[in-house]
Amino acid sequence: MAAYIIRRLLLIPLTLLGIITINFFIVQIAPGGPVEQLLAEIQGTAVDATARFSGIDASEVGGGGGEGGGGGDSTYQGARGLDPAFIAEIEQQFGFDKPIHERYLKMLVDYATFDLGESYFRDQGVLELIGDKMPVSVSLGVWSTLIIYLVSIPLGIAKAVRDGSRFDMVTSWAVIIGYAVPGFLFAILLIVLFAGGRYFDLFPLRGLVSDNWSELPWWRQVLDYAWHLTLPVTAMVIGGFASLTMLTKNSFLEEINKQYVVTARAKGLTERRILYGHVFRNAMLLVVAGFPAALVGMLFTGALLIEVIFSLDGLGLLGFEAVINRDYPVMFGTLYVFALLGLVLNLISDVTYHIIDPRIDFESREV
């Protein structure tokens, strides 16, 4: 197993290189880059836009306007009438004064040392931004995933044991209805009911903790943290039970009907011993396989609308705003971190396979 883990670890840099390379060149040829984004803003509100860049005087904006202006020959949309020297200064601010291959190689060297650069439109480094937003996303993702697994696995086992019963039918309808309700719609319903929308004002509507959280004793900090997370986590998990519950049920049903279970019953083993001593280990392989994808999805993609609705400033919202604003360092930085985390979680998933069922041997598997 050790040799397999080493091989997988050695493949992680190559996989990251492929992911970053493909996305870098796709983004470079896409229209509407950060320079065009800023020029469009400058054309509308020159003083406000140029105030973001130290050393660029607002009087320079539009200095090339009229018949003498050279901005009409610019390759950027929205640059008409702007001084070419001013446009060149903006390009230098963003690093677009260098050829594409130089920018690509510089990014690879920086990422090799985990230097993710500075945001174009925020006065912060990308690593600092990710660190600031990480607690929100980790809180939503980890607790949502844990609750889904802690509820769905026992429920799926109970449904498999009682297949075809009234309990099975009722719970199937319940999880399917929950799956059919969009998370953001359920979040709005929770706000209306429990966050002062119309009926009760029991839970806070914004933030991960209260403003005076640092002044509270530790046990009240825990309660305050749970109080703020109750509604967003509930909204996230409501649609997550169905697929995992049915996967668990079907996996157990498939194993229960196999010959080794019939043999175990013939030997006089109790149903509990058969279920948790033999069936559980085999049936849980498929469930374990989906854990990394479920966790990554909850951490970085599934929480975007929930973060917006409950005013939680997490990684999902950060990545979305970076795409809208063409903030390339934040886009590539978050992609790099997400991909790295996903690859590590997939490796952990394989190791968990071996722990659950030692018969699975990755040593002889070609990577």
Q: What is the CATH number of the domain that holds 232?
A: 1.10.3720.10
Q: Which domain holds residue 188?
A: 127-356
Same domain, 168 and 234: yes
pLDDT the model gives residue 21: 92
**106 and 202 in a common domain:** no
Mean pLDDT of 155-165: 88
Domain count for the chain:
2
Residue 270 has which token pair? 């109790």
**What is the pLDDT at residue 291?**
73
Q: What is the mean pLDDT of residues 46-64?
A: 45
Same domain, 207 and 108: no
| Residue-level pLDDT at 166 | 92
304 in the same domain as 223: yes
Do 282 and 154 fall into the same domain? yes
- Residue-wise DSSP of 253-300: HHHHTSHHHHHHHHTT--HHHHIIIIIHHHHHHHHHHTHHHHHHHHHH
Percentage of residues of the chain with pLDDT beyond 90? 6
Instruction: Give 208 or 278, the one with higher predicted confidence.
Output: 208
Tell whether 110 and 140 lie within a shared domain: no
pLDDT band at 293 (very low <50, low <70, confident <90, very high): low
309 belongs to a structural domain = yes
192 is a domain residue: yes
Q: What is the pLDDT of residue 94?
A: 74
Highest mean pLDDT (candidates 49-63, 155-169, 183-197, 258-272): 155-169
Confidence label for 50 from pLDDT (cuts 50, 70 and 90): very low
Answer yes or no: is pLDDT of 174 > 50: yes
Q: Mean per-residue pLDDT for 318-342? A: 85
pLDDT tens sequence across 234-257: 988 887 888 888 888 888 888 888
Q: Provide the CA 305 distance to its chain's centre, in angstroms.
A: 12
Specify if 186 maps to a domain: yes
pLDDT higher than threshold 80 for residue 48: no
User: Which pLDDT does position 14 carry in this prediction?
Assistant: 92
**Mean per-residue pLDDT of the chain:** 78
Model confidence pLDDT, tens digit, residues 62-116: 444 433 334 444 555 555 556 677 777 777 777 777 888 888 898 899 898 888 8
Asked if residue 175 and residue 228 are part of one domain, the reply reads yes
Backbone angles phi, psi at 112, to 5 degrees: -65, -30
- Better pLDDT: 115 or 36: 115
Residues 353-360: contacts with CB within 8 Å, 24+ apart?
Answer: 353/285, 353/288, 353/289, 354/1, 356/281, 356/284, 356/285, 356/288, 357/281, 357/282, 357/285, 360/285
Q: Is the pLDDT of residue 366 over 70?
A: no
Residues 81 and 152 in one domain: no
Name the DSSP class of 201.
B
